[in-house]
């Protein structure tokens, strides 16, 4: 029997309801685990450096430093995981 560790995920988005919804969806799969959440880019970079997650889900449009600037700062760190940039589309 093999024991797999869950892939770790950091959510960076300024909308708490969206973070909560994504976290609930991810929580339905035992192979995935949200280890931290950030409401802005500054906090996200700090948490990424602390936790070195396997995956970062990064909102493109945020107040303060936006997703692209946050991505640039994340690239300057020594992270081993991947970053997926997401953008909400309003109807």
Rounded CA separation 68/48 (Å):
15
Report pLDDT for 3.
58
Report pLDDT for 88.
78
Which CATH superfamily groups domain 7-86? Response regulator (3.40.50.2300)
Angle 33-39-45 from CA coordinates, rounded to 5°? 75
Paired residues of 37 in beta bridges: 11
Q: Is the pTM of this model over 0.95?
A: no
Rounded CA separation 34/32 (Å):
7
Domain boundaries, the chain: 7-86
* Parts of the chain with a pLDDT under 70: 1-3, 91
């Amino acid at each position: 029997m093999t024991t797999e560790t869950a892939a770790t995920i950091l959510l960076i988005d300024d909308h708490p309801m969206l973070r909560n919804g994504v976290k609930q969806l991810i929580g339905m799969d035992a192979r995935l685990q949200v280890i931290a959440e950030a409401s802005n880019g500054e906090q996200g970079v700090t948490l990424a450096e602390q936790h070195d997650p396997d995956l970062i889900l990064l909102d493109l449009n945020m107040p303060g430093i936006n997703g692209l600037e946050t991505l640039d700062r994340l690239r300057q760190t020594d992270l081993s995981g991947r970053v997926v940039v997401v953008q909400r589309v309003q109807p």
